[in-house]
Amino acid sequence: MESKPIHEFQTIIASTFNDLSLLQTALTHRSFVNEYRGGPIEHNERLEFLGDAVLELVVTDFLYKKFPQKPEGELTSYRAALVNTNTLAEAANKLGANQFLRLSKGEARDTGRARQYILANAFEAIIGALYLDQGYGAAQSFIDRTILPLTDDIVSKRLWQDAKSRFQEVAQERVSITPAYNLLAEAGPDHDKVFRVGVYLGEECVAYGEGKSKQEAEQEAATKALNAKGW
């Protein structure tokens, strides 16, 4: 499926670029560049690197001012919940970014966890593109609209607490069982492995998770388990 024209996405994010090619680059995955035969083009990894730094600064500044009595440790947890892969991928999805991504044919077919990473990285790249094109204020405004409104929900529902800790706490409270995590599979070369983990309550496998590390896979499994149990 071909991506939609980039000017339509510009309308969605309510920002008119001086250099529209920056936004196009932000939505261009490395895999597309490897397949593209129309001449040299740039993928979004440098913009992602820049956008990640801008995002962290904006969120940190916001949290510091919003919660003047909170200790550094809690603020760090709040920030981690606001800028993690799941949050950013969901924000990108809400904007319809998936329809504007430029991907290889292989990546375009994959709609699993790998696509979540791609969407989250593209979201950071969009921030980087806004920063380069229009400055810090434009990037901050975009983050204000898309990420910062999630803060109250994250804090009130304790979504900032890592999923493994939260699932263990609730499982012990409700069913008096400590969750166990089993590595079920790993695939890919050493430098790019994907791990698949199951989380169990006794004999029951509640959910599965995948990630670039065992710890990440366990966190995803715990998140899915919380949803599966309605906890």
Candidates 42, 74, 90, 124; catalytic one = 124
Per-residue pLDDT of the chain (231 residues; tens, 9 = 90+): 567 889 999 999 999 999 999 999 999 999 999 888 777 899 999 999 999 999 999 999 999 999 999 999 999 989 999 999 889 999 999 999 999 999 988 887 777 777 888 999 999 999 999 999 999 999 999 999 999 999 999 898 777 888 898 899 899 999 999 999 999 999 988 888 899 999 999 999 999 999 888 998 999 999 999 999 998
Residue 48 annotated to the active site: no
Q: Which two tokens stand for residue 101?
A: 């991504």
The one catalytic residue among 35, 45, 48, 52: 52
> What angle is formed at CA 19 by the lines to CA 15 and CA 20, rounded to 5 degrees?
65
Neighbours of 122 (CB within 10 A): 28
Q: Which amino acid is at 116?
A: Q
Listed as own residue / partner, the contacts of 171-178 with beta carbons closer than 8 Å and 24 or more positions apart are 171/201, 171/231, 174/231, 175/201, 177/201, 177/202
Active-site residue flag, 173: no
The CATH topology of domain 6-156 is: Ribonuclease iii, N-terminal Endonuclease Domain; Chain A (1.10.1520)
Placement of tokens 């603020």 in the chain: 75
Q: Are 209 and 219 in contact (CB under 8 A)?
A: yes
Residue spans of the domains in the chain: they are 6-156, 163-229
**Cβ neighbours of residue 17 closer than 8 Å, sequence gap 6 or more:** 10, 23, 129, 133, 134
pTM: 0.76
As its CATH architecture, domain 163-229 has 2-Layer Sandwich (3.30)
